[in-house]
Chain A
Amino acid sequence: MIVRILGEGQLTVADEHLDDLNALDGDVERAITAGDEAAFAIALPALLDAVRAHGVPVPDEELVDSDLILPPSDATLAEVAEMLGEEGLIPG
């Protein structure tokens, strides 16, 4: 699975890590839905760190689409909420 962290590039992450990452992603989503800045400030870096830890960088010369695209590490809760909100996936 290829994951892009915006502003950082792409990483190949083995499927076996998917459950771990989904759990962390759940934390991010819950923080966003609750509008909980403090929880978000912990959850997003935790998710990105896990991706970085499990992932192997895709070589620069390779041109591949990502299976997943994650927000940049310095994204604010409002920005990520907006990214999600544009698609109408999270109501309100």
Chain B
Amino acid sequence: MKRMTMIFRSKANTALDRAEDPRQTLDYSYQKQLELLQKVRRGVADVATSRKRVELQMTQLEQQGNKLHDQAQQGLANNREDLAREALTRRSGLQQQISELQTQHANLQAEEEKLTLASRRLQTKVESFRTRKETIKATYTAAEAQTKINEAFTGISEEMGDVGLAVQRAEDKTAQMQARAGAVDELIASGALEDVTASPGDDIARELDALSAGTSVDAELAAMKNQLGSGSPAPAIEARDSDSAAVETPARETKPEGQA
């Protein structure tokens, strides 16, 4: 345990012994503290932006997933298990993407919470430091101040080191995730992802459309045949009926295959 202690200590306690009036180091440090506070707040905002972006992507992918699910049902209803299978296969690919995004989302949320707490903590500590600083400046001469100043820095340098590190880590993580999110956005935009989802989904949709168009044509034809059958003189109809049936059937069968 002792070992781990020393490491960060040495990093934190630098940046003093510079100003001619040691009391100025208090102002200098306070300035740095405020800057760090700004940086943490920007950090929180950046993480939140990334989180929202991932949320948007999840919604988009879920919508595509729902569409594929509907198409699978439609396929089954039309006795096209092959189409249904294809749609569900693509959907499971999407599902994987979504669960990766869910992991990212949870990480970002945890990071956001951590930084929000760090920001609140630092703000309170900076306020404590400001009070000490003002007391020292009001009470001690430059010559007397040194020990008091060293005391004033107790804790705040370490806190700044910690928060600085936390912001850095959050930035690294969000940069990684933004790169990945950028890749997903690009995939959605370029249609490359649609090869796995939407565009093949469109193929499925087209086939289903053709299928339902086919059935409605069949239904129409059947209705027409019935009408003709009940209205006109027998011989002429019988001839026409068998004629048209001979033409219709092959036409009906080749149509969907030609489109598939």
Contact = CB atoms under 8 A, between A and B. Distances in A.
Contacts of B129: 63
Interface string B97-141: 000000000000000001001101100110111001000000000
A25 B165 CA distance: 22
Contacts of B1: 21-22, 25, 68
B9 A69 contact: yes
Q: Binding site of B, secondary structure by majority: helix, strand, loop or mixed?
A: helix
Contacts of A84: 3-4, 7
Nearest to A67: B5
A9 B159 CA distance: 8
A23 to B, nearest CB: 10
Contacts of B121: 9, 60
A66 B6 CA distance: 10
Interface string A1-40: 0001011110000000000011001000100000000000
Contacts of A55: none
Contact of B155 (A25, A64, A67, A89): A64
B3 A63 contact: no
B28 interface: no
B120 A60 contact: yes
B114 A8 contact: yes
Given A60-B120, A60-B121, A60-B124, A7 B154 contact: no
A89 B2 CA distance: 11
Nearest to B131: A61
Nearest to A3: B1
B128 A4 contact: no
Contacts, number: 81
Contacts of A61: 124-125, 127-128
A6 B162 contact: yes
A63 B30 CA distance: 14
Nearest to B8: A69
Contacts of B162: 4, 6-7, 9
Contacts of B156: 63
B125 A60 contact: yes
A89 B3 contact: yes
A90 B6 CA distance: 13
A69 B7 contact: yes
Interface in B1-34: 1-10
A24 to B, nearest CB: 9
A54 to B, nearest CB: 13
B158 interface: yes
Q: By CB atoms of chain B within 10 A, which of A22, A65, A83 has the most?
A: A65
B153 to A, nearest CB: 9
Interface of A: 4, 6-9, 21-22, 25, 29, 60-72, 74, 83-84, 86-87, 89-90
5 contacts: A7-B165, A22-B1, A63-B132, A63-B152, A69-B7
